[in-house]
Amino acid sequence: MPFPNSSALSPSFLLASIPGLEASQGWLSLLLCCAYLVAVTGNSSVLVVVRLEPTLHTPMYLLLCMLAATDLALATCTVPRALCSYWLQARDISFGACLLQMFLIHSLSAVESSVLLAMAVDRYVAICHPLRHAAVLTNASTASLGLLAVARAVLFFLPLPLLLLPLPFCGPWGLSHSFCLHQDVMNLACGSTTPSMVYGLTAILLVMGLDALLICLSYSLILRAVLRLAAWQDRLRAFGTCVAHGCVVLAFYVPLIGLSVVHRFGRDLPPMVHVTMGFIYVLMPAVLNPIIYGVRTKQIRRRIWSLVRVSDRTPW
């Protein structure tokens, strides 16, 4: 019998296990745990290094800190709960906790998209208008961009859980991911989900879709400006400053598009595909971003090695 979730009898959902691989679930969850530890260590290292190195207190590295903090929060609000479901068989998640996790996942993704757009604008101003870069992008304006990104994410994605509150759920309760996503939860409702579906698609298009379009526009302008440079050494140097950010953009948007395609058109795909794509979406940016910027940025690499050497010399 369906019942509205506003009642005291709100359902609990079942987080997805690793279908067909229950016997190997311990080893696979160990790999997931290792990936999470890499993400936590890498992003925490970026935050600590930028905090300790005064020469890195610039808009570009402040944006990098925002990106690292967002990745850290996104991984932390999903992976530990999934590991509990694997190791402790605690697959039940209450309706309220599921809605909260869903809001955090989508809003943090929106924040990351906004930060990537701000980083693209930073590269555009630095390459196309270098004399105005210091005046346009200051530490204060960068902090304002971060606050604007958070406010934008909350404004657009807070309605997602609110639109699901009045819907009745009549089973089945099993989710296709090991955490709560909007469309996954919405598909379990037995009432009309048209308003929730339309708003969810609109919010994604107006935030992630618009950001992706503006990032492509920024890089097209950067490419045009770089190709006008006379010396190939200058072209190579200008391209090099954008390589790391381009890889970070791909690490975010490719899993996002892949997950969207799986949700829209992959209902007949094996459950393992849904579970795997969910973890790729959550963990790929968090794992790759610190590695990309750590390898690319000499200041971060040198500071990390100096901290490692100091820790090795410290007596225990």
Written as tens digits, the pLDDT of the chain (316 aa) is 444 444 344 568 888 876 665 555 667 788 889 999 999 999 998 998 888 888 888 898 899 999 999 999 999 999 999 888 888 878 889 999 999 999 999 999 999 999 999 999 998 888 888 888 888 888 999 999 999 999 999 999 999 999 998 888 877 788 888 899 998 899 888 888 899 999 999 999 999 999 999 999 999 988 888 877 777 776 777 777 778 888 899 999 999 999 888 877 767 777 778 888 889 999 999 999 988 887 677 777 676 666 655 555 555 4
> What pLDDT shows up at residue 146?
94
For residue 289, which of 29, 32, 38, 53 has the smallest C-alpha distance? Answer: 38
Amino acid at site 96: G
Q: 3-state SS of the chain? A: CCEECCCCCCCEEECCCCCCCHHHHHHHHHHHHHHHHHHHHHHHHHHHHHHHCHHHCCHHHHHHHHHHHHHHHHHHCCHHHHHHHHHCCCCEEEHHHHHHHHHHHHHHHHHHHHHHHHHHHHHHHHHHCHHHHHHHCCHHHHHHHHHHHHHHHHHHHCHHHHHHCCCEECCCCECCCCCCCHHHHHCCECCCCHHHHHHHHHHHHHHHHHHHHHHHHHHHHHHHHHHCCCCHHHHHHHHHHHHHHHHHHHHHHHHHHHHHHHHHHCCCCCHHHHHHHHHHHHHHHHHHHHHHHHHHCHHHHHHHHHHHHHHHHCCC
Q: Which residues pair with 4 in a beta bridge?
A: 168
| Res 36: pLDDT | 95
Rounded Cα distance between 176 and 189, Å, is 14
* Cα-based angle 185, 188, 189 (whole degrees, multiple of 5): 100
User: 20-310 architecture in CATH?
Assistant: Up-down Bundle (1.20)
How much is the pLDDT for 5?
Answer: 46
Domain boundaries, the chain: 20-310
pTM over 0.85: yes
Residues 93, 14: Cα–Cα separation, whole Å? 6
pLDDT at 3: 42
Q: Which of 224, 246, 244, 226 is nearest to 235 (CA)?
A: 226
CB atoms within 10 A of CB 87: 13
